[in-house]
Amino acid sequence: MKVAILQCDEVLAKFQSQFGDYSDMIQHMFDVLDDTFEFKIFNVQQGMYPQDIDIYDFYITTGSKVGVYDNKPWIQQFIEFVRLLDRKKKKLIGICFGHQIIAEAFRTPVEKTEKGWGIGVAVNRIVAHPDWMSTHKSDLNIIVSHQDQVITLPKEALVIAESDFCPYFMVQWNRHFLSIQGHPEFSADYSRAMMNERKAIIPPQRIEAGLESLSIEPDNALFTHWIMDFVKH
């Protein structure tokens, strides 16, 4: 299976030797499931896109520290590419920033939430089980790192997972777009390193709670299985 990774940012240089880049994390996420995937990385910040969008079985984004509402030319170009994938009905999996970029492509708002930072492992309720989902579960625990949130959804979108903190955590937008506000590619060690790195900008109480939450096992493998269920459906 051929997978196009749409890379929207890079891991801090001082962390790359230990954790790799975001594209490496996504490849590892799938390799745990099946090591026969073929990956091609496209750095969308540098305007890199596939010449032939039909040769990939699905697309997946990385996260990014920038906001989708930032006035940057590469973000506008990326939004237009997502709209192209939608018109061509190509499967797209949005991760964090990608979750929000899909919202922007569908002209639904994304804003910095007054609730503050979401960090550590987020516990979410599963509120829908689409017909493509092979494994049912009542909750979904995924590592998060975000301030921005999708504010509203188009009427055809289906909320699959939610929490009081993030009402639109996992969304199926249509038959070919699926996205999540969390980071199923992150490890607990990387999350811990990022929280320690951001102690100057995140309140101490939120850091403490985030670090404590890492005792919860994230459902990375489950979500990866769900990606494959969705892609193959």
pLDDT tens digits for range 98-152: 999 999 999 999 999 999 999 999 999 999 999 999 988 999 999 999 999 999 9
Q: Is 52 helix (H, G, I), strand (E, B) or coil?
A: coil
Angle between helix 204-213 and 188-197 (nearest 10):
170
Q: Write the single-letter amino acid at 221.
A: A
Instruction: Give CA–CA dist 10/117, Å, rounded.
Output: 20
pLDDT tens digits for range 4-19: 999 999 999 999 999 9
Domains and CATH numbers, the chain: 2-232 (3.40.50.880)
Close Cβ partners of 58 (under 8 Å, ≥ 6 residues apart): 1, 3, 4, 90, 91, 92, 93, 227, 231
In 3D space, the residue among 174, 148, 170 whose CA is nearest the CA of residue 161 turns out to be 170
Token digits for 54?
């039909």
